[in-house]
Amino acid sequence: MDFSREFIALACRKGVLRFGSFITKAGRNSPYFFNAGLFDDGASFRELCGFYARAIQASAVHCDMLFGPAYKGIPLVAGTAVRLAEHGVNLPFAFNRKEAKDHGEGGTLIGAPLAGRVLILDDVISAGTSVRESVNIIRAAGAVPAGVVIALDRMERGTGSLSAVQEVREQFGIPVVAVATLEDLIGYLADSPQLAANLEAVSAYRDTYGTQAS
């Protein structure tokens, strides 16, 4: 998908995707680091949400509304709903707050009532905790989780032989759509003279920690 490479190019320009030596939460020495929180201005964040919108439309996953888990999913779900509406797809959206509000409307949910098939938007899936919480919230409201959309699938094994994305697919039986994957990143590096020096390290990391297929 062309937009996957366009997204990686944007992430590199913004410093969201960096190369070097980084220790992951799992204690692995990764040759790249991805921090979606660095899409921190109007122009780049609008582009990011546009990529989410394109990934959703390309995936053909049927959904009735969008849900963004606190906190990173909150701006994502609002921005992506706007970009989808620009393409003629007007979907309701909701998000949760971490702490229940005991005054006003109360509760932990803000936005449209959860109903029908609900698509979850998040930045990445690491331990799957955010997805699990979102699925529980959606099911508790009597709605159905339709899938998860993330920016980057690292295609990296967790504690077992599966990646975090594969574990979510297996545990909840829902699709996970990624704007870009590690395979897209490797393809981009191979075609980019300025970044090709990082190709060997990223490929070696995939060979050590990667899954066979995402």
134 annotated as belonging to a binding site for a ligand:
no
The CATH number given to 2-209 is: 3.40.50.2020
Here the tokens at position 58 are 């390309």
State residue 211's pLDDT score.
Answer: 87
Q: For 22-51, what is the mean pLDDT? A: 95
H or E stretch including 153?
Answer: strand 144-153
pLDDT band at residue 1 under the 50/70/90 scheme: low
Residue type, 145: P
126 annotated as belonging to a binding site for a ligand:
yes
Question: Could you confirm whether 103 is annotated as catalytic?
Answer: yes
Strands (E) across 82-130 are located at: 93-101, 107-111, 117-121
127 annotated as belonging to a binding site for a ligand:
yes
pLDDT band at residue 78 under the 50/70/90 scheme: very high
Torsion of CA 196, 199, 201, 205, to 10 degrees: 160
pLDDT in tens, 83-102: 999 999 999 999 998 776 55
pLDDT band at residue 4 under the 50/70/90 scheme: very high
What are the C-alpha distances in Å from 53 to residues 9, 127, 177, 194? 17, 24, 11, 29
Catalytic residue among 14, 62, 87, 101, which? 101
CA angle 114, 7, 117 (to 5 degrees): 15
State residue 214's pLDDT score.
Answer: 47
**Mean pLDDT, all residues of the chain:** 92
- pTM, 2 dp: 0.93
What are the C-alpha distances in Å from 13 to residues 10, 16, 19, 49, 183? 5, 8, 12, 16, 19
Q: For 22-37, what is the mean pLDDT? A: 92
State residue 185's pLDDT score.
Answer: 97
Question: Could you confirm whether 101 is annotated as catalytic?
Answer: yes
Nearest to 31 by CA among 152, 162, 185: 185
102 annotated as belonging to a binding site for a ligand:
no
How large a percentage of the chain has pLDDT more than 90? 83
pLDDT in tens, 143-192: 999 999 999 999 998 878 899 899 999 999 999 999 999 999 999 999 99
83 annotated as belonging to a binding site for a ligand:
no
pLDDT in tens, 99-137: 765 554 546 899 999 999 999 999 998 777 889 999 999
- Rg (C-alpha) for the chain, rounded Å, is 17
In whole angstroms, give the CA distance from residue 143 to residue 155: 29
